[in-house]
Amino acid sequence: MPSNRASGPCTDSFPAQSDRGPHPRPDPHRRNAFRYSHRSGRTAPSSVGMKVLVTGGGGFIGSNLAAALVERGDDVRVLDNFSTGNRVNLARLPEAEVVEGELRSYERVHAATRGVEVVFHQGALPSVPRSVQDPLTTGAVNVEGTLNVLLAARDAGVRRVVFASSSSVYGNSGMPPRVETDPADPISPYGVSKLAAERYCVSFSRVYELETVALRYFNVFGPNQDPTSQYSAVIPRFVTAIARGLPVSVYGDGGQRRDFTYVQNVVEANLLAAASERANGAVINVATGRPTSVNELADVIGKLLDRQAERVYHPERAGDVRDSWAGVELAHELLGWSPAVDLEAGIELAVESYLHRSSPA
Ligand SMILES: NC(=O)c1ccc[n+]([C@@H]2O[C@H](COP(=O)([O-])OP(=O)(O)OC[C@H]3O[C@@H](n4cnc5c(N)ncnc54)[C@H](O)[C@@H]3O)[C@@H](O)[C@H]2O)c1
């Protein structure tokens, strides 16, 4: 198996703000110095064949995105510390340059953004339960890490940062479907961290010559998603349990509804968000617009696998929202995007990957 291009070992420290030194200004002769300015409204950005950075590219969504970028001919660099991601996810992408490094290190992030036109910022600690257990680390990676990405992108003359935000910013406020104009009222420390990071993105697009787009993903699933971690999402956990004839664990009564979104839909939204001139400074839902309860999900998976989906019910988990599904009109309007793969087709596409990853070596 060919190895990825590596960019040296991780030698990160966590420098204080004062260690950052002067910010280098973008070189006007650089390839991406033609970047589109929303203030002047001139010059369309290039959208294919770019140098791009995917933070968290060793993770579930980041690796699917990196694969799509490589496939369309972009020059892809990945920044990841592989804390929740896995090098195996990049094994089929020898073209991607891998920088092992820490989002909490400005220097490391800045080095990774050099020469880059678009940053797809997927790196984060993505779990609600983890954030309830350890809000400090979640905040440091998700908020300070995003600030480092934005600062480094600004300083390196990056054209646009596309940020992976989350439906968790909505909390339980109002009635679904959630639309972008609804008030944000996150419940979990994770949701708070994503909201803070998202607001930094919007702020940077207003006060600096850096374009940003924040995409609020709703319950993403698909290949390269780890079914074995204690923080695993519900679909990989259900598939692996039901396939083995084991009962699935349901937290609460199972009536809570979610908008389960196949990863390819999210990848396509990212590609469009990198190029859409109208999306600069926007916050956009990425979901299917279709609610499915956790109990219904177990039945759908049982039917697809031709197995009985037995449940064991546990108390509700702290930080979880009751119902969460999205209105996706804004994504259609600003990105020309709509979800191409539905829940059943997505699960069929993902099953093999889950079963392969969960089987003993
Ligand atoms: N999966 C979902 O349903 C979902 C929903 C909403 C939002 N999101 C967001 O999408 C993004 C990707 O999520 P995912 O599900 O692929 O999770 P993931 O855990 O598979 O990917 C996150 C990646 O970030 C890397 N990372 C974590 N901390 C880091 C650090 N300090 N320095 C460098 N790299 C670090 C991990 O190693 C991993 O590769 C995250 O920002 C997450 O908050 C995911």
C-beta separation of 103 from 109 below 8 A: yes
| Tally of CA atoms within 13 A in the half-sphere of 118 that contains its CB | 27
Distance of CA 123 to the CA centre of its chain: 7
Ligand 1 centroid to 293 CA: how many Å? 24
8's tokens = 């040296």
Taking residues 224-238, what's their average pLDDT?
88
Ligand 1 centroid to 240 CA: how many Å? 21
Where in the chain are the domains?
Answer: 45-219+261-289+323-341
CA angle 249, 255, 257 (to 5 degrees): 100
Q: Could you tell me which residues are beta bridge partners of residue 52?
A: 76, 118
Taking residues 237-264, what's their average pLDDT?
96
Taking residues 7-23, what's their average pLDDT?
37
Distance in angstroms (rounded) separating the CA atoms of residues 218 and 166: 6
Taking residues 76-86, what's their average pLDDT?
97
Distance in angstroms (rounded) separating the CA atoms of residues 81 and 247: 34
Q: Which of 54, 107, 166 gets mutated to test ligand 1 (max ligand atoms within 8 A of its CB)?
A: 166
Which one of 14-28, 38-52, 169-183 scores highest in mean pLDDT?
A: 169-183
What's phi and psi for 302, nearest 5 deg? -60, -45
Q: Which of 122, 147, 292 gets mutated to test ligand 1 (max ligand atoms within 8 A of its CB)?
A: 122
24: left (phi over 0), alpha (psi -120 to 50) or beta: beta
Taking residues 239-263, what's their average pLDDT?
96
128 vs 3, higher pLDDT = 128
> DSSP string covering 292-320, please?
EEHHHHHHHHHHHHTS---EEEEPPPTT-
Name the closest-CA residue to atom 18, ligand 1. Answer: 59
Distance in angstroms (rounded) separating the CA atoms of residues 73 and 255: 43
174 vs 341, higher pLDDT = 341
Distance in angstroms (rounded) separating the CA atoms of residues 115 and 30: 8
Q: Taking the chain, what is the end-to-end CA distance rounded to the nearest angstrom?
A: 18
> What is the number of the ligand 1 atom nearest to the C-alpha of 57?
39
190 is catalytic: yes
From 8-17, 164-173, 218-227, 287-296, the region with the lowest mean pLDDT: 8-17
Write down the mean pLDDT value for the chain.
88
> What is the number of the ligand 1 atom nearest to the C-alpha of 123?
24
User: Is 36's pLDDT higher than 50?
Assistant: no
Distance in angstroms (rounded) separating the CA atoms of residues 77 and 5: 9
Q: Which of 106, 190, 262, 354 is catalytic?
A: 190
Taking residues 56-76, what's their average pLDDT?
98
From 20-29, 170-179, 316-325, the region with the lowest mean pLDDT: 20-29
10's tokens = 């991780």
Ligand 1 centroid to 315 CA: how many Å? 26
User: Is 155's pLDDT higher than 60?
Assistant: yes
Ligand 1 centroid to 316 CA: how many Å? 24
C-beta separation of 194 from 166 below 8 A: yes
pLDDT-derived band at 321 (thresholds 50, 70, 90) equals confident
Query: What confidence score (pLDDT) does residue 207 get?
Result: 98
| Position 61, amino acid | I
User: Is 41's pLDDT higher than 60?
Assistant: no
> What is the number of the ligand 1 atom nearest to the C-alpha of 101?
33
Domain 45-219+261-289+323-341 class, CATH top level: alpha beta
Query: What confidence score (pLDDT) does residue 24 get?
Result: 37
91's tokens = 């094994």
> DSSP string covering 197-220, please?
HHHHHHHHHHHSS-EEEEEEE-SE
Q: Is 164 in the pocket of ligand 1 (CB under 6 A)?
A: yes
User: Is 162's pLDDT higher than 80?
Assistant: yes
Q: Which of 12, 55, 60, 169 gets mutated to test ligand 1 (max ligand atoms within 8 A of its CB)?
A: 60
From 18-27, 190-199, 242-251, the region with the lowest mean pLDDT: 18-27
Taking residues 61-69, what's their average pLDDT?
98
Q: Is 232 in the pocket of ligand 1 (CB under 6 A)?
A: no
Residues shown for the chain? 361
User: Is 333's pLDDT higher than 50?
Assistant: yes
From 7-11, 130-134, 265-269, the region with the lowest mean pLDDT: 7-11
Name the closest-CA residue to atom 20, ligand 1. Answer: 59
User: Is 114's pLDDT higher than 90?
Assistant: yes
